[in-house]
Amino acid sequence: MNKSVKRNFLVLSLKAFRFALKDERGQVLPIVALVMVGFLGMCGFVVDVGRVYVSYRELQASTDAAALAGAETLPSSSATTVATAYSSTSGNKNAFSGSDSTQITTTLKCISSLSNSGIACVSPTNANAIQVRQTLTVPMYFTRLLGTSSVTMSATATASMRGGSATPYNIAIIADTTASMSTSDSGDCNSTRLTCELQGIRTLLSELWPCASTETSCGTATGGTVANPVDNVSLFTFPNMTTATTQQSYDCSSTNPKIYAYTFPSPAATSLTTMPYTSGGNTVQMTYQVLNYSSDYKTSDTTSSLNTVSNLVRAAGGKAGCTGMGNPGGEGTYYAGALYAAQASLLAEQRANPGSQNVIILLSDGDASATQTQMVTGTQSTTLATNNGLYPSWVNECQQAVTAAQAIALTGTKVYSVAYGAAATSGCATDTGTYKNKPCNAMKDIASSPAYFFSDYTASQNAGQCVSASQPTTSLNQIFTQIAGSFMAPRLIPDGTT
């Protein structure tokens, strides 16, 4: 090819190339289609990954909730059932969209590090923690194209039965010191029932928080109360006693307080007042309260020993050589008045400590059967007993106590009852209705929740007759340990804690 032909071919080629560059005609749809396929694929991948992330967060949250719910029930044998009820398995409280395939496994644990810090493993489960593991399979949609049809994930949570921050509590303990408490109990502490009762109260005190756990010492107590207390405790008893002799319950003397007939505080009272009793021309003031609210029962939250300087500890028999509360005898059992007295004092204490929670703990065999002569009548006091079956009355005494407790619970006060050797088929002889011959049922209905009803049914008196369905703990010491534990919130702890 000669040079001129080559030159002409090159010129034409350049012109054609420039023309092609300037030509804007053509189709972009194939390119857009390819880009859209990639874009939709990325969106699909993001949607699937987002579903997995959201499902995992919901699964973990429901697992935490299930563990905390189960731990709050411990050491009850219903802990596993309660944990499942708060899980995300189908039909339960924390089920969410897409959680139908959730599977749950619960494991009750006795963790030694918790036991060493005072959170004991007590019956019936002998566990102080619960671990919940949930597994969920999440179906995929867009990533099926890449060969992944589903993703299986799991979440685990472990919760201690207690150990979280304690709410400040005002606690009124009502102790039965009637004649029946002087009988022997070989089924619990191999001593008198009063001795066993006081031992249980000491167990409760050793588990409570006198002040914040961050304080190395609660400091000096004034009138039995330290600065910034957490759990304030007052001690009540029935029968009632004269205000002039209450100190004989804790002054380590061998003399019992002076008692007279039962007197009756007002159900509407919002602070504790004494009640007059007149006999033979002499008038004395009566009370159900042994000691006002105290927080000096321990010198710090972390100590395991009780402070024997405390009058509350002495009343509970916690000082060597000091017998504590005795059994004055002479009166039958009637405790509706003690419930109203305790509630009146709690309302006043709560006003003085805003944000605190009120609690009543009543321990008795439940057999309220005081006679007419053991209650104030005639001109003996300002409020007199009648025979109409309504408070105050020597008829329907167990019903009156149940009515009192249920009214008290409506104010927000938690009412715990501990049936100690209660009978299931005899007692409550003054009752004509629901509770006739059923002290056990009366004690059960006094509790403001089934979880707050306990029974030491191994006691020698009426052994095996009165069993708590939700709290089958049998020993008084374990019962009071469990009650104290319920005052603290359960908390999540690291999985694998030993």
Q: What is the pLDDT of residue 405?
A: 98
Closest CA to 40 of 143, 173, 192, 160: 143
Question: Is the predicted pLDDT of residue 371 greater than 90, yes or no?
Answer: yes
List the domain boundaries for the chain. 29-160, 169-490
Q: Which residue has the higher pLDDT, 314 or 147?
A: 314
pLDDT at residue 340 tops 90: yes
Query: Quick count: other Cβ atoms within 10 Å of Cβ 38?
Result: 10
Average pLDDT of 169-188?
A: 91
Examine the pLDDT at 17 and tell me if it is beyond 70: no
The pLDDT of residue 161: 85
Cβ contact 405:343 at 8 Å: no
Task: Check residues 26 and 47 and name the one with the higher pLDDT.
Answer: 47
Quick one: what percent of the chain has pLDDT higher than 70? 88
Query: Would the pLDDT of 5 be above 80?
Result: no
- C-beta neighbour count of 193 within 10 angstroms: 27
- Residue 440: which of 466, 416, 420, 421 has the closest Cα? 466
The pLDDT score that the predictor gives to residue 97 is: 85
CA distance 301 to 280: 49
Q: What is the pLDDT of residue 42?
A: 61
Cis omega before residue 75 (within 30°)? Answer: yes
pLDDT of residue 24: 56
Tell me which range, 132-141, 287-296, 482-491, is most confidently predicted by mean pLDDT.
287-296
- d(C-alpha 456, C-alpha 199), whole Å: 14
* Average pLDDT score over residue span 330-359: 95
Residue 174: predicted pLDDT: 98
- Asked whether the beta carbons of 409 and 372 are under 8 A apart, the reply is no
Report pLDDT digits (tens) over 249-293: 999 988 899 999 999 999 999 999 999 999 888 999 999 999 999
Burial of 491 (0-12, 13-18, 19+ CB in 10 A): middle
Instruction: Classify residue 165 by its DSSP letter.
Output: P
Which class does domain 169-490 fall in? alpha beta
Using the Cα atoms of residue 485, residue 488, residue 490 and residue 494 in order, give the sign of their dihedral: negative
Q: What's the confidence (pLDDT) of residue 289?
A: 98
At 33, is the pLDDT very low, low, confident or very high (cuts 50, 70, 90)? low
- Whether 20 has a pLDDT exceeding 60, the answer reads no
Yes or no: say if 420 and 459 are a contact pair by the CB < 8 Å rule.
yes
pLDDT value of residue 365: 94
Res. 410: pLDDT tops 80: yes
pLDDT tens digits, residue range 429-462? 999 999 999 999 999 999 999 889 999 888 878 8
Smallest CA-to-CA distance from 420 within 339, 369, 475, 360 is with: 475
Closest CA to 155 of 121, 105, 200: 105
State yes or no: pLDDT of 353 exceeds 90. yes
pLDDT of residue 38: 56
- Of these ranges, 4-13, 136-145, 285-294, the one predicted with the greatest mean pLDDT is 285-294
Query: Would the pLDDT of 59 be above 80?
Result: yes
Q: Measuring CA to CA, which residue among 291, 293, 428, 278 is closest to residue 351?
A: 293
Average pLDDT, the chain: 88
First to last CA, the chain: 94
- For range 287-312, the mean pLDDT: 95
SS3 of 246-309: the string is HHHHCCCCCCCCCECCECCCCCCCCCCCCEEEEECCEEEEEEEEEEEEECCCCCCCCCCCCCCC
Name, in order, each residue with C-beta under 8 angstroms of 479's C-beta and a sequence gap of 6 or more.
200, 418, 454, 456, 471, 473
Token duo for residue 171: 């606690």
Task: Please give the pLDDT value at position 334.
Answer: 97
16 pLDDT more than 90:
no
Return the half-sphere exposure (C-beta side, CA atoms, 13 A cut-off) of residue 497: 23
Q: Binning pLDDT at 50, 70 and 90, where does residue 148 land?
A: confident
DSSP 377: -
Q: Please state the rounded mean pLDDT for residues 334-348.
A: 98
Mean pLDDT of 225-251: 95
pLDDT at 27: 62
Mean pLDDT check: name the lowest of 42-51, 292-301, 304-313, 458-467: 42-51
Of 399, 460, 465, the closest CA to residue 189 belongs to 460
CA distance 197 to 181: 9
